[in-house]
Amino acid sequence: MKTGKHLLLDTSHLDELRNIKVTENEIRIGGGCTFTQIISNSAIQKYYPMLTKACSTIGSLQVRNKGTIGGNIVNAAPCADSYPPLIAYNAEFILTSNNGTRRIPADEFILKNYQTQLNSDEILTEIIIPIPKKNYEYSYFQLGRRNAVNITRISIGILISFESNKIEECKVVSGSLFHKPMRIEKIEQILIGKELTNETINLIEQPLKKIIDDAIGKRWSSAYKLPVFINMTKDALTEIFEQRG
């Protein structure tokens, strides 16, 4: 007979975990903040619009009202919608125990599916995101089997800054594709230094196909995921291209 955990700790009454604090250089989001809090926060809307959009796609209204960003993170599911934006915005996580605190970058926290660096005596108390020092264009796409109460099958978050009409900085972050949400740095390097045009967007197709083939091999889902993710990535870049006019 299967049994559950012998002890469960309820942290929902701790106001310290449900605050969003804005300082000159960063925003600190409590691990107990709900997705509704995040979506409705004006500072997050201003500085991290990709995070706002991603959180607005999670589950249903009821799920967003009760579900927390900390829970989404520590569950470590590859499909966690909040994760690609947190990686793109260089977020860090504060892990707290009786022995003190640790600060871990978002892109290092998950080890693999449903496994993290969180120790058994720790909780995630804060998410710290630096306030961007430059203007970024963004796009976030996700695909699931339905429009509501949805579990993401594939997602892509892209963050780009431009200098003299050329791509100066670029973050391309996948969700629900590899063994964990992660940046695709080889594609970023292809894009950096180039103008964002249809020709540039088409340059990523074959390199991205090889990256996915090498990383996930031939699975039953590859025939579906590979072309869908490539087209979704191109669509995300095209959206940024069209937004710039």
Residue 5 lies in a domain: no
What's the structural domain count of the chain? 2
Domain end residue (candidates: 130, 161, 176): 130
**Confidence grade of residue 225 (pLDDT, cut at 50, 70, 90):** confident
Average pLDDT over residues 99-126: 96
Tell me, yes or no, whether 163 and 121 share the same domain. Answer: no
Residue type, 233: T
Average pLDDT over residues 126-135: 97
Residue 139's CB is within 10 A of a number of other CB atoms, namely 22
Phi first, then psi, for residue 28 (nearest 5°) are -115, 120
Tell me, yes or no, whether 148 and 232 share the same domain. Answer: yes
Tell me, yes or no, whether 88 and 192 share the same domain. Answer: no
Residue 25 lies in a domain: yes
pLDDT at 13: 84
Tell me, yes or no, whether 28 and 81 share the same domain. Answer: yes
Tell me, yes or no, whether 30 and 75 share the same domain. Answer: yes
pLDDT at 149: 66
3-state secondary structure the chain: CCCCCCCCCCCCCCHHHHCEEECCCEEEEECCCEHHHHHHCHHHHHHCHHHHHHHHCCECHHHHHHCEHHHHHHCCCCCCCCHHHHHHCCCEEEEEECCEEEEEEHHHHEEECCEECCCCCCEEEEEEEECCCCCCEEEEEEEECCCCCECEEEEEEEEEEEECCEEEEEEEEEECCCCCCEECHHHHHHHCCCECCHHHHHHCHHHHHHHHHHHHCCCCCHHHHHHHHHHHHHHHHHHHHHHCC
Tell me, yes or no, whether 210 and 236 share the same domain. Answer: yes
pLDDT at 4: 64
**Packed helices 222-243 and 205-216: angle between N→C axes, nearest 10 degrees:** 140
Residue 52's CB is within 10 A of a number of other CB atoms, namely 19
Phi first, then psi, for residue 130 (nearest 5°) are -65, 145
CB 141 within 8 A of CB 156: yes
Cα separations in angstroms, 216 against 22, 77, 111, 210, 211? 40, 17, 16, 10, 9
Phi first, then psi, for residue 152 (nearest 5°) are -65, 130
Domain end residue (candidates: 77, 98, 130): 130
* Token reading at 117: 């660096």
pLDDT at 144: 76
- The CATH number that applies at residue 79 is 3.30.465.10
Tell me, yes or no, whether 21 and 125 share the same domain. Answer: yes
Tell me, yes or no, whether 122 and 35 share the same domain. Answer: yes
Residue type, 123: I
On average, the pLDDT of the chain sits at 93
Domain end residue (candidates: 130, 145, 164): 130
Residue 213 lies in a domain: yes
Tell me, yes or no, whether 35 and 76 share the same domain. Answer: yes
pLDDT at 1: 46
Tell me, yes or no, whether 122 and 142 share the same domain. Answer: no
Residue type, 211: I
Range of the domain at 146: 137-243
pLDDT tens digit sequence for 52-98: 999 999 988 999 999 999 999 999 988 899 999 999 999 999 999 99
Tell me, yes or no, whether 181 and 228 share the same domain. Answer: yes
CA dist., res. 154 & res. 81, Å (int): 10
pLDDT tens digit sequence for 154-205: 999 999 999 999 999 999 999 988 889 999 999 999 999 999 999 999 999 9
CB 38 within 8 A of CB 51: yes
pLDDT tens digit sequence for 20-39: 999 999 999 999 999 999 99
Q: How many residues does the chain have?
A: 245
